[in-house]
Amino acid sequence: AQSVTQLDSHVSVSEGTPVLLRCNYSSSYSPSLFWYVQHPNKGLQLLLKYTSAATLVKGINGFEAEFKKSETSFHLTKPSAHMSDAAEYFCVVSDYQTGANNLFFGTGTRLTVIP
Amino acid sequence: DAEITQSPRHKITETGRQVTLACHQTWNHNNMFWYRQDLGHGLRLIHYSYGVQDTNKGEVSDGYSVSRSNTEDLPLTLESAASSQTSVYFCASGGGRGGLDEQFFGPGTRLTVL
């Protein structure tokens, strides 16, 4: 079965400092992994996705994530936080290897950016 | 531009009433999904559809139903609303190619059951 664990429910950083949001996954197969962002009172937007190509994935707004199979991790990073990055971030795994199209969401990490 | 819309955006209802939440997408996606979002749980799948006349139960389907009569719409019905169904509901479409593709999310419907 597929699942993800987001290791921090809340992360707080100062503007201009690096961001690290941690995610570990569990999958019986080689997974597809995604990071989605949700700004307050908004729907979810895709930040980036990993689908077995390059292990370092670049997304929108300067975010990137590295797939590490040996550590079953897919951590999200950004070199320098901006105030507009304050949002809820979800790590997501797909069970595409079973032929289904469903996503399994982590419980989310709320990012606060301090001016 | 293609989009996915939900209505209403906010709904207050009473226990025992039937409620229907609408979802409409113009992406022409075969796959559509309904999720609920609650604190501490992330998003949980309620029902999903891979095409017209196809519906499937998700992780938390009890008390909900869907029907798919065309490609664009997947309405979610709460047969007899309960306070435990107070939540924010998101509709999504996409996720083709066996889950390799992203899902596109609507803006959400905040439902309160009193």
Which of B40, B58, B107 is the closest to A43 by Cβ? B107
- B100·A95 Cβ contact <8 A: no
CB atoms closer than 10 angstroms to residue B60: 18
pLDDT at A115: 94
Could you tell me which of A4, A5, A3, A30 has the C-alpha nearest to residue A98? A30
Structure tokens at A68: 């590490």
pLDDT tens for each residue of A49-58? 988 778 899 9
| Residue A100: band (very low, low, confident or very high) from pLDDT cuts 50, 70, 90 | low
CB contact under 8 A, A100 and B58: no
Q: What's the confidence (pLDDT) of residue A51?
A: 80
Give the model confidence (pLDDT) of A34-45 as tens digits.
999 999 888 899
CB pairs under 8 A between A and B: 62
